[in-house]
Structure 1
């Protein structure tokens, strides 16, 4: 029997998004997909995304998300297996962290400057217009996040460039909308997906693997799938389409 497709899917801005990004759809046409810590709604799927979710139900959906485990738990979607925290945690089908992956990252983290050491240097002098925190899983510090409280994306973009000089060698910046993240060289969705796919392809060599993502950071794991899906309004697709000779308006 042919196994169902394995669908590795980014969540935010791929399968759902905040209400302002849903356009002119009426509230009654939208499906609530995620909530904030206080229980208030935060993410919605449009009718086309709802149709996509129905289609994806024919396969095995695995979230590949920047959300930490506790934030993923507030999403109305399959919780395990999953890749959380930009690859910093892999949840097995039983919903427990993969101990081998966690141990591997812990060893690699010792070879680079720790996020906890860099955090004060990156956030020093930031005013009240920004909020920031460090994402950790099971005692391992993973990456640093900065957001604009006013949703001022141009200001956040300028801040990213200003802070670039403070980053140690190998660290990367992921900027998408009001999300600004600083990732150490050993952390990526790509590395976690590669680890997961080693077992999948050993057990079911012919299994179709589909990747879904919207941002620059998703390109790394989409590259490992057999097929890739990108929302056409997304950061990644807009880069591909910009100046393309075959897209002529």
Structure 2
């Protein structure tokens, strides 16, 4: 009896990364910027890992929105896509799954206004402290999903402390030069659990779930899987492995 295998995987800094993070390793193009220039690359080790999953179903669990996900051209995602840190769960046709659409209809009205307040709050402090940061509300399928703040690492660390009291109802995701102010509905674990439920409902044979991720905020969804993998030197490797 062959069990179907589903791989729930983060993308950036897990299966590929920007060129500077690859060192002197041989690389292969993975994802592109809006102008069509190669932006992210696989190492040989990452491609070898992907080859192990040839017969599995890959499900992206990514901070990218759908537009950015479509610029990943080295992998195919034949079924569900979990994007924007878990805010959206879409099918292969890029339409929201019906049950997830109902979740958003309930939660979005409150958070749309909250995003605008958070953006104004961030801009106020960026200007007052002259921080080398930029902030904006990220949209996915024209839906506001989270506030993105990017810039120098030291400035990101300072801004995280500034926004912490303001963003208590949500989650602050920080990794390197990037920070995201996430609402409760942008939760990778919640989205993965929802998709796992759909898989198990239709399964005639118990499925096997494998998770891949690099950030500490990936840990909750990784813990839902039968097996979990993290790259050497990742945030999880440095901060959670003892």
Q: What is the TM-score normalised by the length of structure 2? A: 0.90
Distance apart, 1:129 and its partner CA:
2.4
1:99 counterpart residue number? 98
Distance apart, 1:69 and its partner CA:
0.3
1:187 counterpart residue number? 186
CA RMSD across the alignment: 1.8
Secondary structure at the counterpart of residue 96 of structure 1:
coil
Please list, as runs of the form range in 1=range in 2, the aligned pairs for 1:10-89 lying within 5 A after superposition.
10-25=10-25, 29-76=26-73, 77-79=75-77, 80-89=79-88
Secondary structure at the counterpart of residue 240 of structure 2:
helix
2:216 counterpart residue number? 216
CA distance in 2 between counterparts of 1:123 and 1:98 reads 34
Q: Structure 2 vs 1, CA of residues 81 and 185 (structure 1 numbering), >3 Å: closer, same or farther?
A: closer
1:233 counterpart residue number? 233
2:2 counterpart residue number? 2
1:247 counterpart residue number? none
Please list, as runs of the form range in 1=range in 2, the aligned pairs for 1:188-203 lying within 5 A after superposition.
188-203=187-202
Q: Which of 122, 143, 147 is the equivalent residue of 1:144?
A: 147
Q: Which runs of 5+ in 1 are unaligned?
A: 245-249
Secondary structure at the counterpart of residue 166 of structure 1:
coil
Secondary structure at the counterpart of residue 165 of structure 2:
helix
Count of aligned pairs:
235
Distance apart, 1:128 and its partner CA:
7.2
Q: What is the TM-score normalised by the length of structure 1? A: 0.88
Q: Which runs of 4+ in 1 moved over 4 A?
A: none
Conservation of the 8 A alpha-carbon contact between 2:216 and 2:240: no
Which range moved further: 115-124 or 13-22? 115-124
Distance apart, 1:136 and its partner CA:
1.9
Secondary structure at the counterpart of residue 165 of structure 1:
coil
Distance apart, 1:137 and its partner CA:
2.5
CA distance in 2 between counterparts of 1:202 and 1:123 reads 46
